[in-house]
A and B are shown apart, each in its own frame.
Chain A
Amino acid sequence: MAFRHSFAARLASAAMGLCAALGLAGLASEAVAQDATKGIEEYRKMMAADPFSNPGLLAVDAGEALWKTARGTKNVSLETCDLGKGPGVLKGAMAEMPRYFADADKVMDVERRIIWCMENIQGLDTKDIVKKAFSGAGQDNSEMEVLASYVSAQSNGMPVVPQLSHPKEKESYDIGEALFYTRAGPHDFSCQTCHGSSGTRIRLQELPDLSKPGKEAQAAVATWPAYRVSTNSIKTMQHRMSDCYRQMRMPKVGFGSDAVTALVVYLMKQAEGGEVNVPALKR
């Protein structure tokens, strides 16, 4: 374990500076970027040889333990939570989410559904869990991060099958598509501004084209939660959307909101057929 951690730390320092993005001043340099890319390649090779060397797996393990812990006013675990494939069935669930849940009368992604199960099955007060859903620098992984990692990893190797047959799923897709192109805020950005064509980058960060189905969307979408080398931590899809809206200069979008769900529905459609791989390794 100690070895794995120090390796991750070394990678992290190589990747630092890549965060220049639209945010920090231009500290990144080509050399640093190449180092990081090489580092991640090296790391991927190592993971191929030993899949258990992915530090994100610690989050999956922690998530499993928490999933099976009895909590809340009802003092039960999450093991009977229905993620769309029947109570307690995790295998393949994330590959088919977001989807419509009749009990909630809502379309939900993994993270939103977990919150629903905490409230309705365990009787947990989720206010604090939602508030701390995204761990900060140097903090331990949050409950949401480990639970989403555990649940999603149970779909590893399975193809993404977008759910669009229910009218509410279709409606959510349409809204997600519209939001993808919705320009707003002082900079007039939409998702399309940064993810609308292939082969572009911000500073040195490569931007996947999410405006059309295909390999780029597949690699970018069905791979969250991901282990982010630059922050040395697990980050979820809800966090990814939230952070892109921050870069868009928009106010903070609600965790598990309809807007984020709709975007994830849209993104999963673009990623159709891609293989779930969680937690993937990212910059």
Chain B
Amino acid sequence: MNKIIIASALLALVATSGTALAGGASPEAVEKVVASSWKDPNTKNPEGAKPDWASRLVQDNLQKACSQTRNQPTKDLAEEIVADAKASVKFPEDGKLLGDWKNGEKIAQDGRGQRYNDKVGEPSGGNCYACHQIDKKELAYGTIGPSLAEYGKLRDFKDDAVKATYEKIYNSHSTIACSNMPRFGAQGILTIEQIKDVTALLMDKESPVNK
């Protein structure tokens, strides 16, 4: 349902103003080059080959919308993207959103997973430190995203902040359309259990992030 909404907004975007596309290449021209440049992705990547490998060359509706608008969707499109992202979030069956912050820290440090030279079948990391400051003791942090130091403390550990954080990690577009942050839950990078653990890293009172 929501996918269809985005698709229709996209169609409207492309139909009403070709100039809404920032660049001069037609999507068809780009697709043709992609098809010729990544030939037979499955056989070329025996180490990391997965059934979904070839599908990575095909954009989903969100990726299309954000690419074609150069991550600056119109207000209407942005609202649809946010609503779509919110609707995509799956919550744990028992309703508990805080897992084990110690494990969350490991996940935040771990950048493995999903590349063609990664082992298949092992859980992926979240690699949060690549983009965020989190525990102040870790100095090797990136700055693509904002600092998350003292994240829970700054939010008074409130229940709705816990929920918002879980949603943000599950699908980053639930707060900002065309966010640069991966959709960890919606794209199946992290499991629900792992998302609970990183939520705890940010929101648990005992987490060193909040000390």
A residues at B contact (CB < 8 Å): 20-30, 33, 170-171, 174-175, 177-179, 181-190, 192-194, 196, 199-205, 207, 246-247, 249-254, 257-260, 262
Contact = CB atoms under 8 A, between A and B. Distances in A.
Contacts, number: 160
A192 B29 CA distance: 20
A185 B41 CA distance: 13
A188 B66 CA distance: 10
B67 A177 contact: no
B127 A22 contact: yes
Interface in B16-33: 22-25, 29-30, 33
Given A174-B23, A258-B33, A252 B116 contact: yes
The 9 residue pairs across chains A and B that have the minimum distance between CB atoms = A257-B37, A259-B37, A251-B41, A174-B25, A174-B24, A187-B182, A28-B140, A178-B25, A30-B139
Given A23-B115, A25-B110, 17 more contacts: A22-B127, A23-B112, A25-B112, A26-B111, A175-B25, A175-B30, A177-B24, A178-B67, A181-B67, A184-B59, A184-B63, A187-B182, A187-B187, A188-B183, A196-B71, A251-B44, A262-B33
A200 B71 contact: no
Interface in B79-135: 109-112, 114-117, 125, 127, 129-131
Contacts of B142: 200-205
21 contacts: A22-B127, A174-B29, A175-B30, A177-B23, A177-B25, A179-B30, A183-B66, A183-B67, A184-B57, A185-B114, A186-B187, A187-B114, A187-B187, A189-B182, A201-B142, A202-B142, A249-B56, A249-B115, A251-B53, A251-B57, A257-B38
B211 interface: no
Given A179-B30, A193-B180, A187 B37 contact: no
Nearest to B131: A202
Contacts of B41: 251-252
Given A30-B140, A178-B30, A187-B114, A254 B22 contact: no
A182 B59 CA distance: 9
A26 B34 contact: no
A259 B22 contact: no
Interface string B172-194: 00000000101100011100000
Contact of B138 (A26, A199, A201, A262): A26
Interface in B29-64: 29-30, 33-34, 36-39, 41, 44-45, 53-54, 56-59, 62-63
Given A25-B110, A183-B63, A201 B23 contact: no
B71 A186 contact: no
Nearest to B117: A246
Mostly, the A contact residues are loop
A224 to B, nearest CB: 19
B141 interface: yes
Contact of A22 (B56, B111, B183, B189): B111
B25 to A, nearest CB: 4
Nearest to B125: A25
A173 to B, nearest CB: 8
Q: Which of A21, A178, A249 has most chain B Cβ within 10 Å?
A: A178
Contact of B182 (A179, A188, A252): A188
A203 B130 contact: yes
B63 A199 contact: no
A194 B71 contact: no
Nearest to A17: B140
B187 A188 contact: yes
